[in-house]
Amino acid sequence: MKAPLLTMNDGHEIPTIGLGTYQIRGGSGLDQVLTAIQSGYRLLDTSTNYDSEGVVGEAIRRSGIPRSEFFVTTKLPGKYHHYEDALSMIQESLFRMGLEYFDLYLIHWPLPKRGLYVEAWEALIRAQKLGLIRSIGVSNFEPEHLDKIIDKTGVTPAVNQIEIHPYWVQKRMLEENKKRGILTEAWSPMGRGNDALQEPIITELATKYKKTSGQIVLRWHIDRGILPIPKSRDFIHQRENLNIFDFELTQEEIEQINSLEKSDGRIDNQDPNEYEEFE
């Protein structure tokens, strides 16, 4: 089963769903990424901070599937926001993964208190010109951060990857991305193990559509125009999460799920204006 493709604002195509790899590492991690690839995942989302770039690169090689069929995303850690550091980190990540280019490269967090994200964005633009990266984007950027990089460089990110799940719906940020032509990706799209999948609104929709709660939540993302990157170590869940392209939620059902939002719904309260990455 393969996901349909979307076209981003720079003309490149991207699968409509991907595999998250936070804390997927080592030998067992390799098996988990391989089962995901066998299930049909082609978008693989990693980050230097996850220490999973090696596993993802190795899984791509062992899969026997040509590199060109994959869509690989990784992310720049905060301690490399200076221009020259960012350029060398991008190359270092390529070496770690054994790849010649990334399909998408994101600034992981804006870290506005450090104030270096414009420099980091300029480095991504340079790396794209050098052919090291096909599409460039950001993660956890608020509207003011987006405007700053766009105003300073004239280059709009293809993607903004942000926290979205039924307890943190992000209506405003979704509109802000859309207004600028930026594709929204959802991190922790299943709520990273919070109680959302047990909410009656979701279990009732699962019964109605003969799907699982996980599939209802993923379809809610797709029907809102969002690209989710669920993580699963479980072969059954991995397959289930791809099997969401044969039904659609109504606008009313989308709003019902939106109503589950909580004012303190963020996972680990990670506010992009405050969040400092670990060193």
Ligand X SMILES: NC(=O)C1=CN([C@@H]2O[C@H](COP(=O)(O)OP(=O)(O)OC[C@H]3O[C@@H](n4cnc5c(N)ncnc54)[C@H](OP(=O)(O)O)[C@@H]3O)[C@@H](O)[C@H]2O)C=CC1
Q: Is 74 in the site for ligand X (CB under 6 A)?
A: no
Q: Report yes or no: 77 and 48 within 8 Å, Cβ to Cβ.
A: yes
- Specify the stretch interacting with ligand X by CB under 6 A; choose among 5-13, 18-26, 130-138, 253-261: 18-26
CB of 170 to ligand LYEC3VGP, least distance (A): 15
Confirm or deny that 108 is annotated as ligand binding: yes
Considering 22, 41, 50, 117, which one is annotated as catalytic? 50
Q: Is 47 in the site for ligand LYEC3VGP (CB under 6 A)?
A: yes
Q: Give CA–CA dist 184/42, Å, rounded.
A: 18
Q: Considering CB distances under 5 to 8 angstroms, the limit depending on partner class, which of ligand X, ligand LYEC3VGP, none binds residue 214?
A: ligand X
Unique residue bearing structure tokens 């995901």: 36
Q: Report yes or no: 186 and 159 within 8 Å, Cβ to Cβ.
A: no
Buried b (16+ CB within 10 A) or exposed e, 72-89: bbbbbbbebbebebbbeb
CB of 187 to ligand LYEC3VGP, least distance (A): 6
Closer residue to ligand X (CB): 2 or 192:
192
Q: Report yes or no: 186 and 226 within 8 Å, Cβ to Cβ.
A: yes
CB of 152 to ligand LYEC3VGP, least distance (A): 24
Would you call 275 a catalytic residue per the annotation?
Answer: no
Sequence-separated (6 or more) residues with CB below 8 Å from residue 271: none
Q: Residue from 90, 124, 149, 229 that binds ligand X (CB under 6 A)?
A: 229
Give me the residues paired with residue 45 across strands.
20, 73
Which of 162, 154, 2 has its CA nearest to residue 75? Answer: 162
Active site residues per annotation: 50
Which residues does the annotation place in the binding site?
108
Binding residues for ligand X, rule: CB under 6 A, are 20-22, 45, 108, 139-140, 161, 187-193, 197, 212, 214, 229-234, 237, 240-241
